[in-house]
Chains A and B, each alone.
Chain A
Amino acid sequence: MILIMKYVNSFCHLQKLFFFNYIRFMNRLLLFLCLLIGHTAVSQSVSITITHEVNHQPMRTNKAYYTAQGDTFTITKFKYYLSNFSFTSESGENIKLPPEYFLVSDDSAASKTISLTGLPLGRYKAVSFMIGVDSIMNCTGAQSGALDPIYGMFWTWNSGYIMAKLEGTSPASHLPGHVLQFHIGGYRGAHQSQRMVQLQTSFVVSTGKTPVVHLVADAATWFNGSNPIRFSETAGFMAPGTIGDRIADNYSHMFSVKKK
C-alpha cells in the first residue's frame, strides 16, 4: 500500500454537501414562504437599542468623566460583543434564540441597534444575553461577520476573542501618554471573561409590531463596581487574568433598561 497522499474524489463527501445545501435551501424557502404568507416572520422579531452612558451622562469622545475613586478619565474606544440572547416569557418559559454574535461599538450608530428574529408571539418579562463570545466560538477557527478578526477583537498571541475593549486617557495613568487600555478576554481555565446579563423588562411580541427594548450601557461601571479600579495602579490590562476577570465582574452590571 502506498501511503503518500493522494487526491481522490469522494462521492460520500459530495452527498453530504448536497444534503447540507439542501437543508440550507429549504430554510431559505421556508423563510420566503413565511414572508409571502403574511407579516408573521416580521412580527416575530424584537429590536434592542443600546445607549452608551458614563455616570448617567451620554458618552462623548474626549469628554472628562470621574470614577467613584475620583480619577478623571476620557474614553476614546468602547466596543464589546453581545451574544446568546434568550427571553423569558410571562409564564416563565425560557426561549433561547440561535447563537448570534453582535459587535457593538460606540463609534458605529448602526451597531447599537440589534435585531433578533425567531421569537414566538406572546408576552415577555425578561431578556438575557452574554457579554462576550462563548467558549465554543473561541475555538472554532476562522469566522466572518461580527467575529471576523479584522475588527481588532481577536488575540493572535493567545487565541481568543477580546470580549470587551475600553480605551481612553487618564492623568492618573502611568502608561506612556497617560493612556487607559483595557482589553478583556479569556475563555477557558481559571480566567473566563464571558458574563451573563439578565434584565427584567416586559414587552409583547404581536403580529405586525416589532417591540423595541431600550437598554443603557454605563461604562463607569467598569471601574466602580465591587472591584474598584484606581488608574494609578491599573491603567491597562490586555490578557486573560485576574484583573480582567474583576473588570468583567464590574461590567456585568453595566446594562440597565432605559427609563422612559
Chain B
Amino acid sequence: MNSKTTYVIMAFCLFLVGISLRGKGPGPGVTYVTLRLPDSLPKPVYDFSKNPLTKEGIALGRYLFYDPKLSRDSSVSCGFCHQQFAAFGHFDHALAHGVYGRMGIRSVPTLFNLIWQKDFMWDGAVNHLDIQPMSPIVAENEMDMPLNELLDRLKCNEKYQQLFKAAYGTEEVTSERMFKALAQFMATMISFDSRYDSVKRGEAGVAFTAEEAGGYKTFQQKCAGCHKEPFFTDFSARNNGLPYSPNMNDMGRMRITNNTGDYMKFKVPSLRNVMVSAPYMHDGRFFDIFQVFAMYDHGQEKGSTVDPLVRGMQLSAKEQRQLYMFLLTLTDKHFLKNPDFSEVMIAN
C-alpha cells in the first residue's frame, strides 16, 4: 500500500469518526463525570448510558436551569420556583406561579435524588427525567414557551452556542440536547448527607437525642410504610386521606389513568429536607408540619381509595413533638448549600 492510499484511508477514517460523533452524545474533549453515591443505595433508574454525565453537559444544564429565557416573557426560570435553599421546592408558596402572574393548581415539588424516580409530577404523569422539564416549559400557567420558539431563541444566543459546542461538539441546538443537559444537571442533585445519614453511618460522636430517637421509632411504626428509607418515599402514588378540595377540583392520579381507583392519589413525597420545604401536600394547603400531623391524626377524609396504611392513624402530642424533632434530622445542609447547584449569572 503506498503512502497516498494510506493517507486517503486515514483521512476517510477521521471523516467517519466525525460522522459517528455528530449530533448524538457528548462532544470531543469533554470531561466525564461519575456520581459518587453511597454503596448501600440501589442502582439508579436513570439510564446514564443514554446520557453520560459530563462536566460540560452539567454546566449547560445548570445554565438552562437558571435562565429565565426559557419562559415566554423571560421572567421565569426553573430555578425561579425550584429554590436551592428550599431543597428546590418553592419557599412560602402554596401553588406554583408562572408568567404574567398566572397560577397553577399544585405546589412545587422538591428536586433531589431524581435518578431513582421512575415517574414525575404529583400524579406521576411524566415517565422520564429527560422529558420532565417539557411540562413546565410549555404549560400556559408556568413558562408558556413553545418548544420551537425556545430552540430558536437558544440558537441565536452566543452563550448557548458556546455551551452546546462544549457539551456536544457542535453548536446545534436540539430539544434532545437541551433536555439531556437539564437532566444531567438535575441528576447531580443528590441528597444523602443529613444528620440522620450520619447517625445511620455510625459516624463518631453523632447520635440521635432521646427525642429524635423517639421520633424515629414513631416514624418507623407509622410513616415508613410509604415514606420508605433510604429515600423516605417508596415512589408510589397513594391517597393519604387528605380531604378533597372543591376549590381546586384536583383528583390526583385519576386524571391520568381515568381509573376511579386512583381518586385522590398523589405521589408520596420524600421526607428528606421536609423541614425546609414547606408548604406541604400537593396543593400546599399546610404551612406548618403540625397541621400535617393533625390531618393524619384526626383530619382524614374517608373513602375507598384512602390507603390502609394511614387509615385510623393516631399521633399523640408526644409522638408529634418527637416526630418533629426527628424530621429536623433529615435536613441536608450540605445539599442546600452545595455551590455546584447554586444560581449562575445569566449574561444575556
- B35 near A5 with CB under 8 A, answer yes
Q: How far is the CB of A46 from chain B (nearest CB, A)?
A: 24
- Which of A2, A140, A144, A239 meets B175, CB within 8 Å? A144
Output the residue of A8, A141, A149 with the most chain B CB within 10 A: A141
Closest chain A residue, CB of each to CB of B49: A16
Tell me which residues across on chain A come within 8 A of B334, comparing CB atoms: 4
Please determine whether A142 and B20 come into contact, CB atoms closer than 8 angstroms.
no
Residues B174 and A148 in contact, CB atoms below 8 Å apart: yes
Contact partners of A239 in chain B: CB under 8 A: 258
Q: How distant is B183 from chain A, measured CB to nearest CB, in Å?
A: 7
| Pair B32/A142 contact, Cβ less than 8 Å | no
Stretch in A83-91, A154-162, A202-210, A247-255 touching the partner: A154-162
Nearest to B34 among chain A residues (CB) is A10
Contact between chains at B258 and A142 (CB < 8 Å): no
Chain A residues within 8 Å of chain B by Cβ, number: 41
In the bound complex, how far is the Cα of B334 from the Cα of A144, in angstroms? 37
A56 on the B face (CB < 8 A): no
Task: Decide if B125 touches A159 in the complex (CB within 8 Å).
Answer: yes
B176 at the interface (CB under 8 A from A): yes
Which one, A23-31, A60-68, A117-125, A221-229, is touching chain B? Answer: A23-31
User: With A1-B201, A13-B34 as given contacts, are A156 and B17 in contact (CB-CB < 8 Å)?
Assistant: no
* B147 in contact with A9 (CB, 8 Å): no
The yes or no answer to A14 lying at the interface (CB within 8 A) is yes
| B251 neighbours in A (Cβ, 8 Å) | none
Chain B residue total in the interface (Cβ 8 A): 59
Q: Please provide the chain A residues from 134 to 176 with a CB less than 8 Å away from any CB of chain B in the complex.
A: 138-144, 148-150, 154, 156-160
Residue of A whose beta carbon sits closest to that of B174: A144
* Contact residues of B between 44 and 58, Cβ < 8 Å to A: 47, 49-52, 55
A240 adjacent to chain B (CB < 8 Å): yes
Q: Residue of B at shortest CB range from A6?
A: B36
Q: Are A3 and B197 in contact (CB under 8 A)?
A: yes
A143 CB contacts on chain B under 8 angstroms: 176
Query: Which residues of B229-286 have CB atoms within 8 Å of chain A's CB atoms?
Result: 255-258
Q: Chain A 181-214, CB within 8 Å of chain B: the 1/0 string?
A: 0000000010100000000000000000000000
**Interface status of B11 (Cβ within 8 A of chain A):** no
Question: Bound complex: CA of A223 vs CA of B90, how far in Å?
Answer: 47
**Quick check: is B289 within 8 A (CB to CB) of the other chain?**
no
* In the complex, chain A residues whose CB is within 8 Å of the CB of B294: none
| CB-based contact A144/B176 at 8 Å | yes
20 A/B residue pairs, CB under 8 Å, sorted by A: A3-B38, A4-B193, A5-B340, A7-B33, A17-B32, A25-B20, A32-B12, A140-B128, A142-B179, A142-B183, A144-B176, A148-B175, A149-B131, A149-B134, A149-B147, A156-B135, A156-B138, A159-B126, A189-B257, A241-B258
Given contacts A139-B127, A141-B51, A156-B138, 4 further A-B contacts (CB under 8 A): A3-B197, A5-B188, A149-B147, A239-B258
Interface of A toward B, CB cutoff 8 Å = 1-10, 13-14, 16-17, 21, 24-25, 28-29, 32, 138-144, 148-150, 154, 156-160, 189, 191, 239-241
